[in-house]
Amino acid sequence: MASSSTTISLSLATFSSSTATTSSSITQPKTSSICSFRSHESSLSSSLLGTRICVNNKKARTKGVSKRSISNGVTCLASSSVLPSALLFDCDGVLVDTEKDGHRISFNDTFNERELGVTWDVDLYGELLKIGGGKERMTAYFNKTGWPEKAPKSEEERKEFIASLHKRKTELFMALIEKKLLPLRPGVAKLIDQALGKGVKVAVCSTSNEKAVSAIVSFLLGPERAEKIKIFAGDVVPRKKPDPAIYTLAANTLGVDPSSCVVVEDSAIGLAAAKAAGMKCIVTKSGYTADEDFLNADAVFDCIGDPPEERFDLAFCGSLLEKQYVS
C-alpha cells in the first residue's frame, strides 16, 4: 500500500472528512465527522468509530476503544488511564463565544460614549482578532487608520488613552456577563467538572483583561468551580499569544511539566502559543475561527459538547499524552 518506510498511526474515533494521501492514493467515503486528528506527517480519512488503526505495507490491525454514536456527529472517547497534570482553557471563544456579541459590542459602545467616530463591524473585528489583547488591538488599528481627533498626540499619553478606553470597555463587557446574556459553550462545565473530580489542575489562560476573565469564570461557572480554577490573564505576561509566555507561566505556577498539559483553544494564535509551550492542544472552533489553519492541532472539534452530543471527554484529553512511536 506504500513503501515499507511509510506507517500511518492514528487513534481514537472518526477522522476528518477530507481525503488524505500517502505515496499511493487512498480514497474513502466522506463522513459527517466533526473531529479531525493528525499524526506526524500522515492522515487518513475513515468512517470507523472507536478504532485504533495501524497501517503499513504488511498488515492492518485494529484495537477497539470505547465509542458511542450520537445524532449529529460522533463521540471521541478513550480507554486511556493517563490523565493530564493540568487542563488549560483559553477564555474567549472557548468558555464562551464572546467576541462578536460581547467584546465587539463593548468596544463599539465605548467608542460611541467617547464620540470617537469609530465602529468595528463583524468582518473588521474578525481581522482584528488576529492581534492578541484588546489594548494592542486598538493601538494597531489606530496606528493603521489614524488616531481619533480626541486622542492625545504623545506616545505616553496615547498609552493612557488606550488604557482608559480598555477599562471602560471591560466594565461594559462585565455587565453583559453579570446579566448572563452570553452562555457557556456546550460541554465546558462538564469537562471542568471531570478534571476537578479527578484531581487535574484547571486554569484559564487568556489575553483578555483579568477582571473580565474572572467575571466569566465566577458568574458562568459558579463560585464553587471558580475558587478551584487559577486565572492567568491580561498583562500578567509582557508578550501575548501567539507567544507561549502565558502557557509557560501557567505550567511553572501550577508546578507541572508543560508536556503533561492539554490546552483547549479556538484560534490559530492560541494554538501556536500552546504548541510553542510544548503542550498538547485541542481546538474547539468558534464563530470567528472556523476557517483558520489548525494543521498543528492534536485534535479539532466544533465544540466540547454535552451528552448526548458529547464530542470528547477527559479520558480523551489524557490519551493525547500517550506516546505513539511511528517507524
Question: Catalytic: 90?
Answer: yes
Contact 94, 266 (CB under 8 A): yes
Of the residues 92, 97, 266, 313, which is catalytic? 92
Of the residues 90, 97, 266, 313, which is catalytic? 90
231: cell is: 486565572
Residue positions counted in the chain: 327
Question: Catalytic: 92?
Answer: yes
Neighbouring C-beta atoms of residue 244, cutoff 10 Å: 20
- Find out whether the peptide bond into 242 is cis, omega within 30 degrees of 0: yes
Instruction: Output the 3-class SS for the chain.
Output: CCCCCCCEEECCCCCCCCCCECCCECCCCCCCCCCEECECCECCCCCCCCEEEEECCCCEEEEECCCEEECCEEEECCCCCCCCCEEEECCECCCECCHHHHHHHHHHHHHHHCCCCCCCCHHHHHHHCCCCCHHHHHHHHHHHHCCCCCCCCCHHHHHHHHHHHHHHHHHHHHHHHHCCCCCECCCHHHHHHHHHHCCCEEEEEECCCHHHHHHHHHHHHCHHHHCCEEEEEHHHCCCCCCCCHHHHHHHHHHCCCHHHEEEEECCHHHHHHHHHCCCEEEEECCCCCCCCCCCCCCEEECCCCCCCCCCECHHHHHHCCCCCCCC
Torsions phi, psi for 60 (to 5 deg) = -130, 130
Residue 78 backbone class (left: φ over 0; alpha: ψ -120 to 50; beta: rest): beta
Active site residues: 90, 92
